[in-house]
Structure 1
């Protein structure tokens, strides 16, 4: 089960009842934060989900409405007693951006590992002590990125939560696997004993489908996004403009309308679309929901601290 909370659904500038871009994802007691605009900490405090267990922070780009909440958050995480490293993933230039923001947060009791514009998926275990920041053979979470079209370097994200196959007792017995190895093989360990090699597949059942969440914001609509988000259980997408008459603004500012986001959701064959990143001039996004629903029926209009749960399917 994966829980998520839309901490802030605004773009450009915060307004009453709407903080700036941020999404918090909770899985197995650990957390991943997507963007960190102004108001992120306030929403987290209201929710009471805690700060200490944020292991990964994914930043789409360096504009203030997506990152200015970061230095304060890093300090709060430090004050929570955390000493384990945190991984920050971002586009080209994220290293310099974080370095600049840390002028006001220079002393932290934990290390920050920065992954800039990764060309391969970043694989991260859910267990805090097993967190890795580079590609490799890990179990739980795979983070993929896509370069988008905005006025600065910008990344889209896809998070895939792997689900381990069930332990198959019949297969273990059939393959004459000693019981003392069952637990280790179930944990994906390869065992060599007395010249004989035991592989995890000898005790595991069929592969099970995981959960995919895609996060796309601050970009024009691109055909490659449909491929990137393909089959997502939840597609979180910017809907800066609800009114189709604002299409020229969307093109000029490199953003999207509700209908453009819905077209991507339809083409990407996702299960649900969650719209966010609303222009401060759009006070009532719900008034434009039909612009998306007429194209993609399973559309949700986001709001600050909207909570959603995704469950694994057998």
Structure 2
């Protein structure tokens, strides 16, 4: 008989063992009431190596075997975007709680199917958009909500880096949902939706690699009262990767790598004050702790990364893909 989850460590599984899974597993080890129990790859050797590095008890050579292990409480899905729906549903139907890496799926139809099955199985499901749970981002959200520096007048957010074009890597592989929009453009879009809400109008333009994956995407979100969000993603140039809110009384700037643990600058009357959050992890532990608490409390939906928010995010991505003629 299983020991109740309230009285033991939560046993995690990881499906898909790439770079993000490695970071997730590293931070999972810092959480006292959780442990990495099982990992799964389509390659046994890779599963063994990952298991050894992160002290997992089980290493499987198929995702299905992990999903069939009755000792798994929760699964982190870090497979390519195109597999998110399939892998999530497989686990939900086994009653395993799912934390699925962003983007939740390839389109709104897939996301709706995942959420419907989660509700039918009364099983916890959450999109793993880790930025939402980072202390510096929660700090900025509170400043904006409290109107500490007045109303937001404009937002600029970008995410860009240069990588050599290589269709053998997931990042550029259109068949796996590669390209700038779904992979990194989602972060500036997330900032706009989580602070300003859904825009009244959206405009966008993009450039493309020879295989049809987008190399850059520039977006403008129009909000009431002439408030605009200027957003950009790029896989061909280094961008500041900052989020800058121009407010009535000050500028709030989430500094470089805004989506990851970083600092926040408040620029007022020509003076800059930098707030340091003294991070000592990669940052994936914050979303995981939140998820663990939901699981222990018997919740099936996050109060922060809600289903409504995931719907709004994927619907916005779908609209943008239509505007730039990006089809998968």
The TM-score, its normalising length taken from structure 2, stands at: 0.29
Question: Who wins on radius of gyration, i.e. which is larger?
Answer: 1
Q: TM-score, normalised by structure 1?
A: 0.30
Q: If each structure's helix is expressed as a fraction of its own residues, which one has the higher value?
A: 2
